[in-house]
């Protein structure tokens, strides 16, 4: 399938999504992979995981014309080695997505709504958040909660964040797309409030944050 869509948001970010329908060899033929990423692929045992990584590289090549080098900070947050553009990446077995912004910090996460979120509910949601989960749309509601917290975590670029205690998502009603509010509390008790956007497509939820 290749590039599923690419669009610019109102706040100047660009979101691009790749649908992974190709084989591993087809993805290798589609993109130019730097040597350090090829080495990482050689140590990745899972075929599905290798395809996800290659789809990210194909998407980077599509967005930047192939002349981009990806690095990672100690906490795992990706950065572009030869660009000041801010970037965040996420992927599932079916989709890879990237958000970029020329200046603002960003975060993005994508999840299948068919995933079992039982363990997520127990360890990543506060008591108040669990009480707000809709029984009618339970798995979708949990998917949005988890993706939102992941997006905030990626945007903050910090290690050892307690999702249940430090990232709180204000009550919302799940829809096909919408906005939600998150509050991040650091270890000193200082709070930051963020507005996130989300949308649901092809049994996946994608949540992103800019700024």
Are 150 and 75 part of one and the same domain? no
- What domain count does the chain have? 2
Burial of 107 (0-12, 13-18, 19+ CB in 10 A): buried
- Mean residue pLDDT of the chain comes to 91
Q: What pLDDT shows up at residue 6?
A: 94
Q: What is the CATH number of the domain that holds 168?
A: 3.90.470.20
Which residues constitute the domain of residue 203?
110-210
Are 121 and 86 part of one and the same domain? no
Q: What pLDDT shows up at residue 1?
A: 64
pLDDT at 10 over 80: yes
What value does the mean pLDDT take over residues 18-46? 87
pLDDT at 74 over 80: no
The share of the chain scoring above pLDDT 90, in percent, equals 63
Are 47 and 85 part of one and the same domain? yes
Are 172 and 129 part of one and the same domain? yes
Are 6 and 98 part of one and the same domain? yes
Give the domain-ending residue among 71, 102, 133.
102
| Token pair belonging to 183 | 């509050």
Give the domain-ending residue among 36, 68, 102.
102
Are 115 and 205 part of one and the same domain? yes
Maximum distance among all Cα pairs of the chain, rounded to whole angstroms:
49
What value does the mean pLDDT take over residues 129-143? 91
Phi, psi of 25 (to 5 degrees): -65, -40
Reported as a pLDDT band with limits 50, 70 and 90, residue 126 is very high
Give the domain-ending residue among 74, 102, 130.
102
Q: What pLDDT shows up at residue 206?
A: 98
pLDDT at 103 over 90: yes
């Amino acid at each position: 399938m290749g590039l599923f869509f690419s669009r610019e948001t109102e706040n100047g970010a660009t979101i691009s999504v790749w649908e992974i329908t190709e084989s591993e060899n087809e993805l290798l033929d589609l993109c130019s992979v730097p040597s350090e990423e090829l080495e990482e692929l050689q140590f990745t045992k899972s075929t599905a995981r290798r395809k996800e990584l290659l789809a990210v590289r194909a998407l980077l090549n599509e967005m930047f014309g192939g002349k981009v080098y990806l690095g990672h900070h100690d906490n795992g947050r990706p950065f572009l080695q030869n660009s000041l553009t801010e970037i965040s990446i996420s992927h599932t077995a079916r989709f890879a997505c990237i958000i970029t912004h020329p200046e603002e910090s960003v975060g993005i996460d994508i999840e299948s709504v068919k995933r079992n979120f039982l363990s997520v509910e127990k360890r990543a949601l506060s008591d108040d958040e669990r009480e707000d989960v809709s029984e009618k749309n339970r798995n979708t509601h949990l998917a949005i909660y988890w993706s939102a917290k992941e997006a905030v975590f990626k945007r903050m670029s910090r290690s050892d964040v307690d999702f249940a205690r430090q990232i709180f998502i204000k009550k919302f009603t799940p829809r096909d797309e919408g906005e939600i509010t998150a509050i991040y509390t650091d270890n000193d008790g200082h709070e930051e409030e963020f507005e996130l956007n989300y949308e649901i497509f092809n049994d996946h939820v994608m949540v992103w944050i800019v700024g």
